[in-house]
Amino acid sequence: MHPFLNAAQLAAHRRRNLLHSIVLVSSMSLIVMGSAALIWSVPGALGAGLFVAALVAVGPRVPAGAVMRLYKAVPVDGRNGPQLQRLIEVLAERAELGRQPRLYVIPSATLNAFATGSPSDAAIGITEGLLRRLDLRQVAGVIAHEMSHIRNNDLHVMAMADALTRFTQLLAYLGVVLALLNIPAMLLGLDTFSWLAILLLYLAPMLTSLLQMGLSRTREYDADLEAAGLTGDPVGLASALASLERYQGRFWEDLMLPVPSRRIPCPSLLRSHPETADRIARLQALEARASKVRPIVISEGPLFSLVGRGPASMAPRYRTLGLWY
């Protein structure tokens, strides 16, 4: 599946990816346990440790279809999207997946794609905005990238990291409550909670979020590499990335409502994906060896809207953390 790497390179590639995951997830686990210890001492740390162990063993199991229903996504099949359905079938066969992921189109004007679920029950969502902006060759690269995440079981690791981050957010809310309780306690001369402990509780989500983003970035390069192997066309994915960078992430997005609306935050430390220029350079370096893989035959044709005729049907919707388009 890695036609651009020999056996030794592939083994080193997987060891490095595994090491990054262990270091980052372990660091996030220590932050969770340390935050709990600040409140409940040793029993709190042990309880948080058991929670992390259970999370690693079981992991979040939200059905892929349920996630897509939250986004009001429309499933793609041979009737309403034959080109896209054929693309999914070919890529799933090349990826040697036991079960073909389901493809959905999300009624959103943004340019985005993501995968959810597990290798045995996975779904890939692409936005209507992405279909309107990219050609089918570029869409193939994007879908192959998401399918690589499914094949490598990145979804489980990233979902676990996300759950740990959300847990520290709950602890941060508790830290705010403790700070509010400290004020009257100080005025009355009563014992107070440690201000240092409260500060660490408040900063814990920021630390785990940075670690989570670092974990995501290490896996994006891997998914790009495998996507090039699935399609046999690294230039197609590089072209898609260049188009996405051109259509979004501009500074004037900060001036638009809702604020903030910028989808690619700065500085790069806060990005969940690596710099686009770096990803494109790596893909272009593979072009000379792309002949080793038979590329997918792309028959360009008109892609009809599956979710509406215009932006009016893709109005912003409320979600937990604000608005999305």
DSSP track, 169-199: HHHHHHHHHHHHHHHHHHHHT-----HHHHH
What pLDDT is stored for residue 23 in this prediction? 80
- Token output for 251: 């500074």
Q: Which residues are catalytic?
A: 146
Residue 173 in contact with residue 14, Cβ under 8 Å? Answer: no
Neighbours of 111 (CB within 10 A): 24
Token pair in block for residue 135: 């050609």
Output the pTM of the full model: 0.77
Which backbone phi and psi does 126 adopt, to 5 degrees? -125, 145
Burial class (CB in 10 A: 0-12, 13-18, 19+), 50: exposed
Decide: helix, strand or coil at residue 206.
Answer: helix
Q: Mean pLDDT per segment of 10 residues, for the chain of length 325 residues?
A: 63 74 80 81 88 73 85 86 90 90 90 88 92 91 94 80 78 87 88 81 82 77 89 92 78 41 48 81 79 71 60 46 40
Q: Could you state, in order of their start, the residue ranges of all structural domains in the chain? A: 7-324
The tokens describing 282, both together, are 């790596």
pLDDT tens profile 138-195: 999 999 999 999 988 888 777 777 777 777 788 788 888 888 999 898 888 887 877 8
* Confidence (pLDDT) at 315: 47
Q: Are 148 and 228 in contact (CB under 8 A)?
A: no
pLDDT value of position 100: 94
Q: What is the percent of the chain where pLDDT is above 90?
A: 20
Angle at 318 between CA 313 and CA 324, to 5 degrees: 65
Task: Count CB atoms within 10 A of the CB of residue 159.
Answer: 18
Residues 6 or more apart whose Cβ sits within 8 Å of residue 289: 3, 4
Residue 296 is given by DSSP the state: P
